[in-house]
Chain A
Amino acid sequence: MDFDLTDDQRLLTESITRLLADQYAFDQRKAILKSSQGWSPALWGKYAELGLLGLPIAEEHGGFGGGAVEVMLLMQVFGRHLVLEPYLATVVLGGTAIRLAGDAGQKGEILPAIASGAMKLAFAHYEREARYDIADVQTTATPKDGGFVLEGAKSVVLHGDCADRLIVSARTAGGRDDAEGISLFLVDAGAEGVARRGYPLRDGTRAAELSLSGVRVPASALLGERDNALPVIERVVEAGIAATAAEVVGAMEAMQAMTLEYLKTRQQFGRPIGENQALQHRAAEMLVALEQGRSMAMLASMMVEEPDAAERARSISMAKVGVGQAGRFVSQQAIQLHGGIGMTDEYAVGHFFRRVMVIEHLFGDTDWHLDRLADQVA
């Protein structure tokens, strides 16, 4: 058992913290949010320079060779600053899919391009009617002229509007909800028949509706085994859960700190509101939730590379539930203890609140994962 960070890991956290303290103050972030893309290409370049885009990518592919713990540390700092760049979509979701399913040629082409910042990816898997069910794929891929033709639509594709390459799931066999018969394809965002409509989510991060009509791809676009992509999709989703769990921890830390400061400085009835024991206990409950959530985010990161699929899935579901509940409590209390000011867009608390709210509704919500765990109670 060891919860200590290595020197390298500490340095990593420090360098990201320094960069974001300098570049991602609340007002700077607001300017990025208002820009047409909704994220900063300049900072994307900076992340590449610092090696962050190649953090979990092997050194042979131009990466840093880090693992889940390094990603957790980075996402935690990103959570404290509410980073808007397409890191989750490109490096975590896209990178994991390529790492797990790509052949030598695909890895050799794409992973170095992720690490250098030359290519952005999006994971175009979930569909409008699927909600959180990962086998509910209705998009089809029909063999034709040695390649495939894709037909269908994908919904709320994270950063799907800016991606250069899309990782699209589609049915090559079976019917709706079947675990087998799903395949993954690499699709150029500019390919004929691909239409994208970008929009912001409630937290300001970008997403897109994607439609695919008669999109032709060559056989070499197939990513991983034909008809058997579900295990890969599951692992991509798990990586997303582990990364966003860490992000929520960072957001909770920020909200906790802001609330504490406010309790000390806001005066009502002639004294700081934090002198009311009711509010002191509430702050203590927030701390309890934060620490429990932090433990669960660690669990997710430690287990995301676990080879036993059932054990891995169980741990990840536990983490999604634990972090989801902690995040909801901490963010709701953060607004409540701020009173009116917490309700304004001008103030940072509400932005953290909305990030936590959006993450709750990605990759299966608390109820969904709790239900999955309930199935396995022995």
Chain B
Amino acid sequence: MDLRFTPEEVAFREEVRAFIRDNLPPEIRERMRLGHPPRKQDTIAWQRILNRKGWAAYSWPKEWGGPGWSPIQRMIFLEENLSAPAPEMLSFNITMIGPVLIQFGTEAQKRRFLPRAANLDDWWCQGFSEPGAGSDLASLKTRAVREGDHYVVNGQKIWTSTAHNADWCFCLVRTNPQAAKRQEGISFLLIDMRTPGVEVRPIISIDGSHHLNEVFFTDVKVPVENLVGEENRGWNVAKYLLGNERTGIARLGKSKERVRFAKEVAREVRKRGRPLIEDRAFRARVAQLEVDMKALEITQLRVVSAYAKSADGRPDPLSSVLKIKGTELLQATSELAMDVGGPQAMPVWQQELAQLANEPPIGPEWAPQMAPNYLMLRAASIYGGTNEIQKNILTKAVLGL
């Protein structure tokens, strides 16, 4: 038992930290530090810089352009990247479609899609959820009917993040409505977003941003070669995708970075005549979060090192602990940063528009961005399997109740 990193791991962390420091464009870092979400071009630019170094596809094997890192190295890398703060690699590309194709794809699919996914030449989106199929994903209705060398797809997806940026969508569709079990009639298809019949409609979320979409498919022709795995066996692919990359699930680096930021700005803000950072109640709240983050850090290390040693590579049900606690901390730390801003965090001040009109910010520039961050992170306990569903997994798979 030793909680410390090995000298090699420490050296690795230093290497990652130095690379990010020297290569992350300062204006991207500064925007993110002030709480702005990365813009499309920021995500692309940073992922390409990392890809040139061979790091973007951080969880992939060397053979397909990844660095071939151990789970511990991946965890260190993700944390350094988040706490920089730098844009996250597009998860649809790196932790979803990439590993799926490496595991289930044909040689042709791998060659065609993997290098472009790593370099973000293609922006992928995830077409799983439907209006009637959220937590109960297996009840999905979008139909795909085989006609010669094509599938014809009809139906609707919802909550499709960044579909409006996307070139491709990996989709779950129903190919056999008569199957004995609902899970057995589902297939996994890759759909080119520029195919006729694909329509993307925006959904504005409570933070005022356009992140979510509805995607409608009307007689969309998808070549049979875009089927991943076997027909009617798509559920296995989906399960692999959802369980595959658990190292980054807690996004702990983000919570740490937010607490660091909150402490920094708490020096600029006053409470009862003194800097907020000197206030006992504020310090106790920060201390509590630091306790929770430390516990999660060690739990995460335990899960990751067990995973590294496991022979079967099956996801640990304890990774649900990481998801539950990790999202609770993302929410609590964004709430902290908003509360530091106080009333100054409440105005809607759109930086881009305001700068065009030559308007000065309302209060400190960072403050108005804290509320939308907090608002958007309410979704962290909803997407990727709600925290209630995570608890159901724990009660069944771990507790046997």
A residues apposed to B, CB below 8 Å: 126, 128-133, 136, 155-156, 177, 197, 199-202, 207, 209, 267-270, 273, 276, 278-279, 332, 335-336, 339-340, 342-346, 350-351, 353-354, 357-358, 361-362, 365, 367-368, 370-371, 374
Contact B348 A202 (CB under 8 A): yes
User: Across the interface, do B342 and A345 meet the contact criterion of CB distance under 8 Å?
Assistant: no
Q: B388 contacts A278, CB within 8 Å?
A: yes
CB distance from B279 to the nearest CB of A (A): 7
CB distance from A91 to the nearest CB of B (A): 21
Contacts A335-B378, A345-B206 given; does A269 touch B281 at CB 8 Å: no
- Determine if B382 and A368 form an interchain contact, defined as CB atoms under 8 angstroms apart: no
Specify which chain B residues have a CB less than 8 angstroms from the CB of A131 in the assembled complex: 269-271, 276, 342-344
Checking B206, B272, B343 against A362 with a beta-carbon cut-off of 8 angstroms, the contacting residue is B343
Residue of A nearest to B276 (CB): A131
Q: Which residues of A contact B204 (CB under 8 A)?
A: 344-346
Q: Which of the 9-residue segments B67-75, B87-95, B128-136, B290-298 touches chain A?
A: B128-136
Given A131-B270, A269-B135, A279-B388, does the pair A346, B203 have CB atoms closer than 8 Å? yes
Mark contacts of B272-293 with chain A using CB atoms, 8 A cut-off: 1 yes-contact digit, 0 otherwise: 1100100101100100000000
8 CB contacts below 8 A, A to B, read A131-B342, A207-B347, A268-B135, A339-B134, A342-B382, A343-B379, A344-B204, A362-B343
Contacts of B363 in A (CB 8 A): 128, 155
Shortest distance from the beta carbon of A189 to any chain B beta carbon, whole Å? 19
Residue of B nearest to A197 (CB): B359
Q: A131-B343, A132-B271 are in contact. Are A354 and B134 (CB under 8 A)?
A: no
- Do B375 and A199 touch (CB < 8 A)? no
Q: Quick check: A358 and B205 within 8 Å, CB to CB? A: no
Against A, the Cβ 8 Å flags (1 = close, 0 = not) of B300-337 are 00000000000000000000000000000000000000
* 20 extra interface residue pairs, beta carbon distance < 8 Å, beyond A199-B348, A201-B347, A339-B382: A129-B270, A133-B272, A200-B348, A201-B346, A202-B346, A207-B346, A267-B132, A269-B139, A335-B206, A336-B378, A339-B386, A340-B134, A340-B212, A340-B379, A343-B379, A353-B375, A354-B206, A361-B343, A370-B281, A371-B279
Chain A, residue nearest B368 (CB): A202
Interface string of B379-401 (1 = CB under 8 A from A): 10111001110011000000000
User: Which residues of A have CB within 8 Å of B362?
Assistant: 155-156, 197, 199, 209
Given the interface pairs A202-B348, A343-B379, the reply to whether A132 lies near B206 with Cβ below 8 Å is no
- Return the chain A residue nearest B340 by Cβ: A131
Q: Which residue of B lies closest to A130 (CB)?
A: B270
Q: What's the count of A-B pairs with C-beta under 8 Å?
A: 141
In whole Å, how far is A280's beta carbon from the nearest beta carbon of chain B? 12
- The answer to whether B378 and A155 have CB atoms under 8 Å apart is no
Chain B residues whose C-beta falls within 8 Å of the C-beta of A371 in the assembled complex: 271-272, 279, 281
For residue B326, give the distance in angstroms from its CB to the closest CB of chain A: 16
What does the 1/0 interface line of B333-359 toward A look like (CB < 8 Å)?
A: 000001100111111110000000001
Contact A353 B382 (CB under 8 A): no
Which of A136, A343, A344 contacts B270 (CB under 8 A)? A136
How many residues on the B side are at the interface (Cβ–Cβ under 8 A)? 51
- Indicate if B371 sits at the interface (CB-CB under 8 A): yes
| Across-interface contacts of A354 in B (CB, < 8 A) | 206, 375
**Does the CB pair A126–B391 fall under 8 Å?**
no
Whether A155 contacts B344 by the Cβ 8 Å rule is: yes
| Cβ-neighbour of B273 out of A133, A344, A353, A367 (below 8 A) | A133
Pairs A-B, 4 closest by C-beta atoms:
A350-B206, A268-B136, A345-B204, A156-B343
Contact A367 B285 (CB under 8 A): yes
A278 to B392 CA separation, bound complex (whole angstroms): 9
Chain B min CB distance to A203 (Å): 8
Q: Bound state CA distance, A343 and B209, in angstroms?
A: 11
- Taken together as a complex, chains A and B put the C-alpha atoms of A354 and B379 apart, in Å, by 14
A199 interface neighbour in B272, B273, B349, Cβ under 8 Å? B349
Cβ-defined contact, A343 with B342, below 8 A: no
CB distance from B171 to the nearest CB of A (A): 17
A342 to B158, CA, bound (A): 13
Q: Which residues of B contact A278 (CB under 8 A)?
A: 388, 391-392
Q: Is the CB of A339 within 8 A of B273?
A: no
A368: which B residues are within 8 A, CB to CB? 271
Contact of A332 among B271, B378, B383 (CB under 8 A): B378
Q: Are B212 and A361 in contact (CB under 8 A)?
A: no
The answer to whether B135 touches A343, judged by C-beta atoms less than 8 angstroms apart, is no
Closest to B335 in A: A328
Chain A residue contacts of B348, Cβ below 8 A: 199-202
* Separation of A206 and B321 alpha carbons in the complex (Å): 41
* Complex: A155 Cα to B388 Cα, angstroms: 41
How many Å lie between the Cα of A131 and that of B344 in the bound state? 8
Interface flags, B166-186, vs A, CB<8A=1, else 0: 000000000000000000000
Which residue of chain B has its CB nearest to the CB of A207? B347
Q: Which residues of B contact A126 (CB under 8 A)?
A: 343
Can you name the residue of chain A whose Cβ is closest to the Cβ of B362?
Answer: A209
The digit string for B203-215, where 1 denotes a CB below 8 A from any CB of A, is 1111010001000
Q: Closest residue to A357 on the B side, CB-wise?
A: B371
CB-CB < 8 A to A207: which residues of B? Answer: 346-347
Contact residues in A for B136 (Cβ distance below 8 Å): 268-270
B206 near A353: Cβ-Cβ < 8 Å: yes
**Chain A residue at minimal CB-CB distance from B205:** A343
A157 to chain B, nearest CB (A): 10
**What chain A residues lie within 8 Å of B388 (beta carbons)?**
276, 278-279, 336
B348: nearest chain-A partner, CB-CB: A200
A78: min CB distance to chain B, Å: 19
Q: B31: shortest Cβ distance to chain A, in Å?
A: 20
List, in ascending order, chain A residues with CB within 8 A of B279's CB. 371
Query: A351 to chain B: which residues have CB within 8 Å?
Result: 206
Instruction: Take A339-B382, A345-B206 as given contacts and tell me if A156 and B344 are in contact as well, using a CB distance cutoff of 8 Å.
Output: yes
Interface: B58 (CB within 8 A): no
Q: How far is the CB of A133 from chain B (nearest CB, A)?
A: 6
Q: Given that A332-B378, A345-B208, A371-B281 are contacting pairs, would A155 and B273 also be in contact in the complex, using a CB cutoff of 8 Å?
A: no
B159 proximal to A (CB < 8 A): yes
Across-interface contacts of A128 in B (CB, < 8 A): 344, 363
Contact with A along B64-108 (1 / 0, CB 8 A): 000000000000000000000000000000000000000000000
Residue of B with least CB distance to A203: B346
Q: Which residues of B contact A269 (CB under 8 A)?
A: 135-136, 139
Distance between Cα atoms of A104 and B331 in the complex (Å): 51
Say whether, besides A332-B378, A345-B205, A361 and B271 are in contact (CB < 8 Å): no
